[in-house]
Amino acid sequence: MGLNTTALNKLQVFKGEHFLKTCDFSAEELNTLIDFTGELKEKKKRGIPHPYLKGKNLALLFEKPSTRTRSAFSVAAYDLGAYPEYFGQGDIHLGVKESTADTAKVLGRMYDGIEFRGYHQKDIESLAKNANVPVWNGLTNEWHPTQMIADFFTLKENWGTLEGKTLTYVGDARNNVAHDLLITGAILGVNVHIAAPKSLQPDEAIQKLAKDYAAQSQSEILITDDVNQAIYQTDAIYTDVWLSMGEDQSVLETRINELLPYQVNESMLLNTMNPEAIVLHCLPAFHDLNTEVGQQIYEKYGLSEMEITDDVFQGEHSVIFDQAENRLHSIKAIMSVTLGDIF
């Protein structure tokens, strides 16, 4: 077990860097991070201590709610020997009485690393520019890069390799997760298919960037509204919520009508013609009526499941909870290589 010295040396490039978006890094760098995630997962399972951030203080800033990202950053911090401090919306002056730049300068003098989940990528870019310590992106409207390391690690864990494999995203393909899967997959050389109605297909600029990366990595990009074409013989199906955090609730009814044909269900899984296809979702998911929002949607639109049916969510193709667990190991890897001493 364990990365060899050459692989560890490759991780040195992350030292002192921010982790704001995956396209700041090369395929080789991202692959080393994915492999280091596996090493840290193994260490945790075997009870081998890995206090790479011993004595460090970390600020975790959340403008939006979070279960997985918050938990992963907190538990990863404790496992690495660091002290996390959580700041929720309204807890500090950030953006209200104090500029992002001033807040960054102050936090950077007290903390050794800063996580930020919020609305605008420009805010995290400003934090990174002014903090003088590594800043990690816990999700913005534009990107979700720590999710990407967990996701591509989960794919590799199941497939054995990323090479020559196809990932198909179905649903709202203009959101942070869809854009990031498209770009990160193209960088890593994974074929990325997207099935979405024309109105919800990725931004033009993102499509172009993905195609440029795919030309370099020799992967295939397919963006279509034909769901059967996109999923045929795919190795994985991935979906996300139909309305992301911060979006206007008034578009929900239109979204439901546009996206119902893209719901991940048993018939979609059968149509892949690949009995080995796996199913991913970054979570939280609307797959039953056991949530307040799910209940409200049922009362208003009569829908008991949204982007994924409960049978598929709970079924044998789903690796969704492994994927959720892998957020811990991947975030630990990201914090260790940017801030810790892994030698």
- The DSSP annotation for 54-82 comes to TT-EEEEEESS--SHHHHHHHHHHHHTT-
Q: Is 147 part of the annotated catalytic residue set?
A: yes
Q: Is 26 one of the binding residues for ligand NVA (CB under 6 A)? A: no
Instruction: Tell me the pairing of strands 278-281 and 57-62.
Output: unpaired
Q: Is 327 part of the annotated catalytic residue set?
A: yes
Q: Is 329 one of the binding residues for ligand CP (CB under 6 A)? A: no
- The DSSP annotation for 105-124 comes to HHHHHH-SEEEEE-S-HHHH
Q: Select 235 or 307, whichever has its Cβ closest to ligand NVA.
A: 307
* 237 within 8 A of 277, measured Cβ to Cβ: yes
Rounded Cα–Cα distance for residues 87 and 60 (Å): 6
Question: Other C-beta atoms within 10 Å of 276: how many?
Answer: 10
Tell me how far, at minimum, the Cβ of 3 lies from ligand NVA, in Å: 29
* Residue choice 12, 16, 54, 67 for contact with ligand CP (CB under 6 A): 67
Q: Is 67 exposed, middle or buried (0-12, 13-18, 19+ CB in 10 A)?
A: exposed
Q: Is 244 one of the binding residues for ligand NVA (CB under 6 A)? A: yes
User: What is the per-residue binding string for ligand NVA in 281-300, x denoting contact by CB under 6 A?
Assistant: -x------------------
Rounded Cα–Cα distance for residues 124 and 110 (Å): 18
Q: Tell which positions 148-187 bind ligand CP, by CB under 6 A.
A: none
Q: Tell which positions 253-282 bind ligand NVA, by CB under 6 A.
A: 282
Q: Interface with ligand CP by CB under 6 A: which range of 26-34, 61-69, 207-215, 271-279? A: 61-69
In the numeric block, the tokens 């044998």 are attached to 316
* Residue choice 225, 240, 258, 305 for contact with ligand NVA (CB under 6 A): 240
* Residue choice 74, 100, 176, 201 for contact with ligand NVA (CB under 6 A): 176
Which residues bind to ligand NVA, rule: CB under 6 A? 139, 175-177, 240-241, 244-245, 282
Which residues bind to ligand CP, rule: CB under 6 A? 66-69, 139, 147, 282-283
